[in-house]
Amino acid sequence: MVCKNCGKEIEWYRGRPRVYCDRECLDEYNIKYKKDWYREKHPLKTNNCLTCNKLVVGKKYCSKQCYPVVGSTWFKIKRFEKLKKELEDIGYNNI
């Protein structure tokens, strides 16, 4: 048998024949070929952020600041409390 990555001769003792000479060759092969093959079959999806309409790769929202605007009520309340505290810290008390 010959290693699938480097082409070295592999000794076969018993059981299932080995495809790679060692773990390093297997990892190197996966880095070279498997990632490219996977990306061809499963390309990255690009979406627009649901809040600010920015282009986002693989997600629905571009940042944590955009998520609560469309998200659940709990997130909206937490964001409001955080903003209220920030306004109080800078001296704005008309809330």
Q: Please report, as a single letter, which amino acid is at residue 88.
A: E
pLDDT digits (tens, 9 = 90+) for 29-77: 888 887 777 778 878 888 888 777 889 888 888 887 777 544 567 577 7
Give the residue-averaged pLDDT of 2-11: 88
Helix (H) or strand (E) holding 88: helix 73-89
Of 21, 15, 23, give the one whose Cα is nearest residue 2. Answer: 21
What would the mean pLDDT of 6-16 be, rounded to a whole number?
A: 85
Residue 6 predicted with pLDDT over 80: yes
Q: Indicate whether 95 pLDDT > 70.
A: no
Question: 71-91 pLDDT, tens per residue?
Answer: 567 577 778 888 888 888 888
Question: What are the φ and ψ backbone dihedral angles of 53, each rounded to 5 degrees?
Answer: 70, 20
List, in order, residues 6 or more apart from 90 with CB less than 8 Å away. none
Q: What's the predicted TM-score (pTM) here?
A: 0.38
pLDDT of 68 reads 55
